[in-house]
Amino acid sequence: MKKRLLLIEDNPQNRYLITFLLEKHGHEVVQAEEGAAGIQLAGRIQPDLIMLDIQLPGMDGYEVARRLKADSSTARIPIVAITSYAMTGDRERGLAAGCDGYIEKPIDPETFVEEIERYL
């Protein structure tokens, strides 16, 4: 079943790869390049899932996740952090901010779609 996914990611190569993989499996991917635009877009399109980079310009992904979970119109939408932050405590910090899942970069193209679909 086709799902609408929101990708909040500032890196064009990462946006391309993630979008390519998910669209190849029948999903619709809407993109935002920074946090504030992603929050606004999430409220407007009500995606089935939000994929969120943590290291964003301006507002980091932790703050984006907190704001999305604090807003009643987006609080129910699952958020999966997709990030290169892989140090001790980073996963816990992401989950504490409101992320429902955490995938470390670089992503594995062979398993990425399956990992994402677990949250749908």
| pLDDT per residue as tens digits for the range 7-40 | 999 999 999 999 999 999 999 999 999 999 999 9
pTM, entire model: 0.96
Residue 117: CB partners within 8 Å, gap ≥ 6? 25
Average pLDDT of the chain, as a whole number: 95
CATH superfamily of 4-117: Response regulator (3.40.50.2300)
Q: Where are the domains of the chain?
A: 4-117
Q: In the prediction, which pLDDT does 57 show?
A: 93
**Digit-coded pLDDT (tens) for 42-97:** 999 999 999 999 999 999 999 999 999 999 999 999 999 998 877 778 889 999 99
Tokens of 26: 């029948």
Is residue 33 within 8 Å of 75, Cβ to Cβ? no
Of the candidates 98, 43, 103, 45, which has an alpha carbon nearest to the alpha carbon of residue 73? 43
Q: In the prediction, which pLDDT does 85 show?
A: 73
